[in-house]
Amino acid sequence: MRVRRTLKLGGEVLAIVLVAALIAGQILGYPVLLGFVETGSMEPTLDPGDGFVAIPAAIDGDVEEGDVVVFRAEQIQGGGLTTHRVVGETDRGYVTRGDANPFTDQDGGEPPVKNAQIVAKAWQVGGGVVVIPHLGTALIGVQTAITDTQRVVASVTGSRALLGTQGLTYLLLALSVALYIFDLFASDGDRDRSRSRDRDEGISMRLIIGGLAALVVVTATAAMVAPAGTQEFGVVSAEFDSENPTVIRQGESGSITYRVPNGGLVPVVVYLSPESEGVTTEPERLYVPGQSAENATLTFSAPPETGFYRRYVGEYRYLAILPASVIDASYRVHPWLPILIIDAVMGIPFYVFGMFLVGTGQLRSRSRARDSVSTVRRLLNRYG
């Protein structure tokens, strides 16, 4: 019986993790934990619709020849996320190719892929990609359902703020609060009965509160990661002066104003980090209050040789719920460390407080008639 309960709990936890990964991927616009391919360019390794375990580049950024990477292409199929294999490396970046393609992406006009363009790596065991067959169809269905839900809710409420990644964070927060309130009503008065008879039946309250805490963490992470990311700028090294700040005389420098908005209510701390040569930021750290914006200056250096060059700037933002010294120190260790700390500060108290309110029993389903009567009686006793 204990083995059965453990397997059931493990399946429920896995389902929560997968759903959280799908939501996070929808928010961020690139695969988190799970990815898939839509074309046959990676056959026979990955057939169209096949999925794979995606490791974010921020966690494992060491790219080697033979790795299958997800990168933001500039020319392939008009640009966008592409999953291809690294087959070489040059001074300008990586050489990539689909396993089914006879030529490299760079032979077809795609510039060498830089580290700043890579968002994830496919997990490989023994040199082979771990494949999840036909995962892509399910992921597309979930993404379509999420987008359609946002459109319906935005249409009913008349608010366009519920669209896009920012709107999805609002919906997730509202859902977590609604589910939490529902659990408070559903579990009140049934703790003693939930401990009687068969303890292996029903859904563990620990799992329910843990799932709600996970939604809070996903929402907080989305608020920090979705508006941030790596920004690309095109710089032209020219033989002449220009009023365009990104057209710079060869060997000289030019500056532009970079606006950092904060559409949320909670203040954020933003770091701007050069992700390629020939770019500096001033200042490197900004404090942006809620519903406001601040400006920074980006300075680009034009190489002595004329031509078009790409420059990258990384933007990292964190909810300002920790002391500035803590955010600074953890950011210097790794840009994702402040996110983990902030998620823990928000998720752990939520879980502990939730368990204090609802207990550690199990939420059971009873017959409809008895359940309806007991629910009415509880509400009458509470509010009568």
The per-residue pLDDT for range 21-30, each reduced to its tens digit, is: 665 665 556 6
CB 108 within 8 A of CB 75: yes
CB 17 within 8 A of CB 32: no
Q: Would you list the domain boundaries of the chain?
A: 34-152, 229-320
Report angle CA 235, 270, 32 to the nearest 5 degrees: 85
Mean pLDDT of the chain: 79
Amino acid at 380: L
Q: In terms of CATH architecture, what is 34-152?
A: Ribbon (2.10)
Global pTM reads: 0.59
Q: Is the pLDDT of residue 146 over 60?
A: yes
In 37-149, the DSSP E strands lie at: 51-56, 68-73, 80-90, 93-97, 118-122, 124-125, 128-129, 131-132
Residue 200's H or E segment, with its range, is none
49-66, pLDDT tens digit by residue? Answer: 898 988 877 677 688 899
The tokens for 171 are 């919906």
The tokens for 5 are 């309960």
What pLDDT, on the 0 to 100 scale, is given for residue 318? 94
Q: Going by CATH, does the domain composed of 229-320 fall within 2.60.40? A: yes
First to last CA, the chain: 42
What pLDDT, on the 0 to 100 scale, is given for residue 149? 78
